[in-house]
Amino acid sequence: MARQLIWTERAQKERIEIFSFWNIRNKSVIYSKKLNEFIKESLALISKYPLIGRLTNKENVRVKVLKEYLIIYEITINEIVVLSIWDCRQNPEDLKRIME
């Protein structure tokens, strides 16, 4: 049974920032729409098979790699909580702070 997806405020903000960046850079929303579909498909897979992501140091928190992005999520009994959509081209020290 698929678990319900819950987005944290941080993850929602990061997703919007990613799409805004690509919209401005490409002067088009086409790539953002494709990326959004890819994220949605990956989250559907995660909600159905929550253990698909890589283990982290934090209990019940996993990471799914999507090209140059990471979906960081927490597994609860009934939910998948999306903690962050991380662009791997950022400073890795910032990711350590998210994972603390």
User: pLDDT tens digit string along 7-25?
Assistant: 999 999 999 999 999 999 9
Residue 82 and residue 71 in contact, taking contact as beta carbons nearer than 8 Å? yes
Q: Which amino acid is at 98?
A: I
- Domain boundaries in the chain? 4-99
Residue 16, Cβ neighbours under 10 Å: how many?
12
Q: What is the dihedral of CA 44, 46, 52, 57, to 10 degrees?
A: 160
Q: What is the pLDDT of residue 41?
A: 95
Fold classification of 4-99 is YaeB-like fold (3.30.2310)
Report the predicted TM-score, pTM, of the whole model to 2 decimal places. 0.88
Q: What is the pLDDT of residue 88?
A: 83
